[in-house]
C-alpha cells in the first residue's frame, strides 16, 4: 500500500485541523501522560499560531503549532506514524521559517528531551512549577551554526 504524505498549513486564524490536532494530542496524553492542556487553551493557542501539518492518506499524522517568534507550542506525532521522520520534518519547516526555534519540555519527558537533544536543541534554563499541574520544564533552544544543514540531513534520509 502506498502512503501519500502531504504537507499542509493552517495559518493564524484558521483551524481546519484544530479538532483533529486536539484529538491526536488527547490520544497521546491519555497513553503517555504528556501534552496536558485544557481544550480552551489548546484551541486558542492553535488558532493564534501557524500549524504545520503532515497528513497521510487524508488523516492527520503529525503537527507542530508555532508562534510568530518560532516558539513551538505543540508538537505531536501519531504513535502509528512515529519513526518516519515526521517530527524532524516539522522542526525543519519551522527552522526554515524562523531565525530562532524554541520550546518547553517537561523535565520528566525523557523521550521528548532525547529527541530535541538529537536535533541540536540546548537547555537554556529549568523552570520549576511551569505547568498547571506543578510540573517542571526545560526551556530549549535550537542551536548551532549549521542548523539548516543538520536538519536537511535528517529530512533527506
Burial class (CB in 10 A: 0-12, 13-18, 19+), 136: middle
Calculate mean pLDDT across residues 96-113. 93
Residue 1 has pLDDT above 50, yes or no: no
| Cα–Cα–Cα angle for 4, 35, 5, rounded to 5 degrees | 5
Question: 3-31: per-residue pLDDT in tens?
Answer: 688 999 999 998 899 999 999 989 988 88
- pTM of the predicted protein model: 0.86
Give the per-residue pLDDT at 2.
47
Question: 105-142: per-residue pLDDT in tens?
Answer: 999 999 999 999 999 999 999 999 998 888 999 999 99
**CA distance readout (Å), 78 to 24, 53, 101, 126, 134:** 6, 12, 22, 28, 26
For residue 50, give the nearest of 33, 31, 64, 30 by alpha carbon: 64
Architecture of domain 5-155: 3-Layer(aba) Sandwich (3.40)
Question: What is the spatial distance between Cα 153 and Cα 122, in angstroms, rounded to a whole number?
Answer: 19
Residue 50 has pLDDT above 70, yes or no: yes
Q: How far apart are the first and last CA of the chain?
A: 21
Beta-bridged to residue 125, according to DSSP, are: 139
Question: 56-74: per-residue pLDDT in tens?
Answer: 988 999 999 999 999 999 9
Listed by start position, the domains of the chain span: 5-155
Amino acid at each position: 500500500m502506498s502512503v501519500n504524505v502531504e504537507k499542509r498549513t493552517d495559518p493564524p486564524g484558521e483551524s481546519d485541523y484544530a479538532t483533529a490536532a486536539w484529538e491526536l494530542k488527547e490520544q497521546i496524553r491519555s497513553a503517555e501522560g504528556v501534552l496536558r492542556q485544557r481544550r480552551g487553551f489548546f484551541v486558542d493557542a492553535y488558532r493564534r499560531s501557524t500549524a504545520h501539518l503532515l497528513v497521510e492518506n487524508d488523516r492527520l499524522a503529525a503537527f507542530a503549532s508555532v508562534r510568530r517568534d518560532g516558539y513551538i507550542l505543540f508538537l505531536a506525532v501519531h504513535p502509528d506514524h512515529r519513526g518516519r521522520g515526521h517530527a524532524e520534518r516539522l522542526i525543519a519547516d519551522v527552522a526554515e521559517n524562523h531565525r530562532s526555534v524554541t520550546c518547553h519540555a517537561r523535565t520528566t519527558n525523557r523521550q521528548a528531551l532525547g529527541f530535541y537533544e538529537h536535533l541540536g536543541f540546548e537547555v537554556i534554563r529549568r523552570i520549576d512549577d511551569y505547568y498547571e499541574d506543578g510540573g517542571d520544564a526545560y526551556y530549549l533552544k535550537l542551536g548551532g551554526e549549521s542548523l539548516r544543514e543538520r536538519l536537511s540531513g535528517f529530512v533527506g534520509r
